[in-house]
Amino acid sequence: MKSKVYLIRLANLEKVQVVSDKLKRLLEESRVLDFIQPNTKVAVKMHFGEEGNTGFVKPEYLRIICARIFAQKARAFISDTNTLYRGRRTNSIDHLALAYEHGFVRQATGAEIIVPDDTKKENVITVPINQKFIKAAKVARIFVEADALVGVSHFKGHMMTGFGGALKNIGMGCAAREGKLRQHSEVLPIVYPEKCTGCAECEKACPVKAITIQNNKSVIAGTKCIGCATCIAVCPYSAIDVPWGSGAATIQEKMIEYAWAVLKNKKGKTGFLNFAIKITKECDCLAKDDLRVAPDIGILASIDPVSIDQASFDLVNQICGKDIFQELHPQRDGTLQLKYAHKLGLGNLDYELIEL
């Protein structure tokens, strides 16, 4: 069976006004948000971008998406969860302040911006799922209790999952901190001493002080490490990685089980938009402006989170003439997340691409 994935193409480095106009057309013609019912509460799942990062989907585009939800006579709010790693998005106060700095204010988007405080038990819900790795998922309550969910994702590479789009935005992005930790918990990195210069960048970045420099080499204390992967991202010499075949594969399956938990009660009540523009090597959690690794493609829309990610992945690789994500992250096979999501019934790998 094939799902419909709509695509509106963009030229490289298109102006905000042009992207906005095309996004409006995409929403009107694809009708992917038409499932939204009047008087319902719609969660728009976003990533507000780490400090210094510019890859996140701009507030101007969120305004258009929210306007479409309001036109269905529903209520919308824009939300994201706090991160496991240390940064400006680790707690709700700083996270919200950064979202405001990035332009996500009600005046700009038209919707309330909410970052639930996951240190408060009432903001976390346990969803029994009884899957292979996760038996009970710890999810931010706000997403589970919303009547409908719209996932707005920046499609790009990712240090742990090869690439990230709709599935990652939901699976990892809607998990409470405890849930994120559970997904990362077996992903303990290793140091390649021959590459390590002892520069201590990893030691400075580690959020739980699991790294020390001994004899000019980085040493990770497995008992302290929470598997957040920050050290992998910050090491300038690629001297830290996850041993292939263990954690790097498992994390994708756990992430998909979490996506399953979030979407469990939302059959027919979800829509997804992938922005395949400013495609970068790493995700928007990186606290710096990451470089483009592929030309801009456009915006995709679908009600199927698997198909939209599969189509985004295919389109990026087509335009690059090779599997760019495999090249950027040779130890990660990002397609594992797609295959497992399909296996769990989250969507189809086959899709019909409809260009508008």
- CB burial string 6-19: b at 16+ within 10 A, e below: bbbebeeebeeeeb
Q: Which of residues 174-193 bind ligand SF4 (CB under 6 A)?
A: 189, 191
Instruction: Note whether 138 and 174 are within 8 A (CB).
Output: no
Residues 6 or more apart from 225 whose CB is under 8 A from it? 188, 189, 208, 210
> Least Å distance between CB 290 and ligand SF4?
18
78 binds ligand SF4 (CB under 6 A): no
Q: For ligand SF4, which is the closer residue by CB, 90 or 126?
A: 90
Question: DSSP string of 20-62?
Answer: HHHHHHHHHHH-TTTTPPTT-EEEEE-----TT---SPPHHHH
State the number of binding residues for ligand SF4 (CB under 6 A): 28
> Least Å distance between CB 253 and ligand SF4?
19
Taking the alpha carbons at both ends of the chain, their separation in whole angstroms is: 22
Query: Three-state DSSP class for 319?
Result: helix
Q: Which of residues 214-253 bind ligand SF4 (CB under 6 A)?
A: 218, 220, 225-231, 235, 237, 239-240
Q: Which of residues 117-136 bind ligand SF4 (CB under 6 A)?
A: none
Q: How far apart are CA 352 and CA 3, in angstroms?
A: 6
Which of 64, 129, 196, 349 touches ligand SF4 (CB under 6 A)?
A: 196
Q: For ligand SF4, which is the closer residue by CB, 149 or 240?
A: 240
Which of 198, 292, 295, 339 touches ligand SF4 (CB under 6 A)?
A: 198
Q: For ligand SF4, which is the closer residue by CB, 150 or 206?
A: 206
Give me the residues that bind ligand SF4 (CB under 6 A), please.
189, 191, 196-202, 205-208, 210-211, 218, 220, 225-231, 235, 237, 239-240
